[in-house]
Amino acid sequence: MSEEPSEEEVLEEEEEQEEPEVLLAEKRYDEIDEILSKTMKIDKKREWSINDMLDVVFLNKRLGIPVFIALMWAVFQLVFTFGAPFQSLISDKIFGAWLPDLTNAVIPNKIVLSFLNNAVFNGVGTVLSFIPIIFLLFLVLAILEDCGYMARAAFVMDKAMYKLGLHGKSFIPLISGFGCNIPGVMACRTIGSEKDRKLTILVNPLISCGARMVIYTFIAGAIFPAEMVGTVIFSIVFLGVALAIAMAVLFRHTLFKGSPSAFMMELPRYAIPTAKASILHMWERGKWFIYKAGTIIFGIVVLVWFLQVLPWGPTQGGTVIENSYIAMIGHFLQPSVEIFGWDWKTAVALFFGFMAKETVVATMETLGQTADVLPTIMTPLSAYALLAFSLIYVPCVACMATIWREMSLKWMFFAIAYLMILAGLISLVIIGIGHFLLGMPIHV
């Protein structure tokens, strides 16, 4: 029965000095074999099953990884191209026309109207409009997990990563990071060795969580042609995975020297996922998104709105935004992002993005940088650099707090520092290649 392909595969044999341990393990397996030969009968017809056939392809040495990437690309096409009309329905129609029309007609107070239009409808409303896209992404990921495919993807990726000196179990926490980095960081607990666990935690923030998908969709959707959006987002997500692997290799050779511990992985059988299970799975991952929009995002949007309309006199009730407090903050921050071609509003948005990544979009919207306005202030190159920057710099306060809890305060600061430096570096490389080498503009 051990001949069954793919049910289990052992990547590395135990080290040689652990002789008695290996010997004892072998004896246990010998006895198990003997017992099973007396008590278990396997029908010969079982030699090939659909499960085995699928594994031949999905676990194939050469095709396994390309097939995984091809499938992920299809997932992004589906989520971002198919989901886009539903997103614009909510943002353009519900929060962009119907609700403002209603409130404009009913509410006479200018301050309340400004608050509702800028902070609530534009700010929070835009974040909420991404529900169809985010939930669709989570649904597809849930289906891929529930049908047993994700474990195969993790397996083929792990094999490749093992060769790079990374721990075998690293990829599963990385995949959890696609929902949210917090469970991703926590999933690292399943990694036995402390060194490997710390290493995997540190690179997890480079995996694009749902909140960052909001930024990608918002900015890519505004700047790039509709049929390119899926590809642009795919490339950014891919960049994140590549950076996570690259940084892990770097850390392995500097901070956490040593070889990864042996790992063994068992693959679940393929199954047709039930609608109920997948939807529950999606909801579990997605509910925080709605919860966050109502709490932290709303709070920050209120703060941004106040900073934007105050002092009330000079800003003439928020209409002359240049005189507001937020403009002061923005102009203070802007020189540091000048080279990327971003204006002060983008700088402010990135600043508030430390709290939660969706606030980047919520802040931009509150400050009037809607999807219609974006193409007039950002070129495709500076937008792409912004996407890369958003991908890399610290995911959010909550994720950092999780790193603190799972590692230590020192490591949390280390994570913040390396992510900030890397974010600047990669964005510079993008601008460098695009602007200085290829001559693409960074200003409209």
Partner 1 sequence: MSDFDTGIGKTVGIYAIVLGLLYIGIGAAKIVLQVSGIGRVGVIPGNDALGGLFFFVIAATYLTGVKGAVNGEYRGLSFLLGGFFLSLVYGIVYILIIGGNAVSYVLGEGDFLWFVQFTPSVWLFIIALPFGYLIGQITKDMSW
Partner 2 sequence: MITVALIGNPNVGKTAAFNQLTGMKEHVGNWPGVTVEKKTGKCKYDGEEIELVDLPGTYSLTARSMDELVARNFIVEEKPDAVIDIVNNTNMERNLYLTFLLIELEAKIVLTINQWTGVGGIEIDEQKLSGILGMPVVPIVATTGEGMEELKKVAVEVAKEKGKRANPIDYGEDINALIKKVEAEIKKDTSLSSKYPTRWLAIKVLEKDEEVLKEIDESPHKGEIIDAAG
Structure tokens at 409: 């305060």
Stretch that binds partner 1, among 76-84, 150-158, 208-216, 433-441 (CB under 8 A): 76-84
Residue 54 contacts partner 1 per CB under 8 A: yes
> Residue 264's beta-bridge partner residues?
10
Minimum CB–partner distance for residue 28 and partner 2 (Å): 5
Any idea what DSSP says for residue 177?
T
Pick the closer one to partner 1 by CB: 85 or 432. 85
Cis peptide before 311 (omega within 30 of 0): yes
* Contact pick of 24, 36, 74, 280 for partner 1 (by CB under 8 A): 74
What residues contact 267, with CB distance under 8 A and at least 6 apart? 6, 7, 8, 55, 148, 151, 152, 155
Q: Tell me how far apart the alpha carbons of residues 318 and 315 are, in angstroms, rounded to a whole number.
A: 5
**Alpha carbon distance 223, 217 (integer Å):** 10
Q: Going by C-beta distance under 8 Å and a sequence separation of 6 or more, which residues neighbour residue 58? A: 64, 67, 68, 149, 152, 153, 156
The minimum distance between CB 356 and partner 2, in angstroms, equals 23
Q: List the one residue out of 206, 208, 171 whose CA is nearest residue 75.
A: 208
> Of the listed pieces 63-71, 157-165, 177-185, 430-438, which binds partner 1 according to CB under 8 A?
63-71
Which residue, 387 or 400, has its beta carbon nearer to partner 2?
400
Out of partner 2, partner 1, none, which partner does residue 69 contact, by CB within 5 to 8 A per kind? Answer: partner 1
Partner whose binding site includes residue 53, from partner 1, partner 2, none (CB under 5 to 8 Å by kind): partner 1
Beta carbon of residue 331, minimum distance to partner 2 (angstroms, whole number): 43
Residues 213-232 that bind partner 1 (CB under 8 A): 225-228, 231
Q: How far is the CB of 140 from partner 1 (least distance, A)?
A: 10
Spatial contact of 381 and 435, defined as CB atoms under 8 Å apart: yes
* Torsions phi, psi for 379 (to 5 deg): -90, 165
Residues 341 and 326: their CA atoms lie apart, in Å, by: 19
CB-wise, 359 or 402, nearer to partner 2? Answer: 402
**Interface positions, 231-290, toward partner 1 (CB under 8 A):** 231, 234-235, 270
Among 29, 48, 312, 436, binds partner 1 (CB under 8 A): 48
Is 45 a binding residue for partner 1 by CB under 8 A? The answer is yes
Minimal distance, residue 278 CB to partner 1, in Å: 16
The candidate with the shortest Cα–Cα distance to 287, out of 131, 96, 137, is 131
Alpha carbons 251 and 202: distance in angstroms, whole number: 9
Among 50, 106, 437, 438, binds partner 1 (CB under 8 A): 50
Query: Of these partners, partner 2, partner 1, none, which one is at the site of residue 1 (CB under 5 to 8 Å by kind)?
Result: partner 2
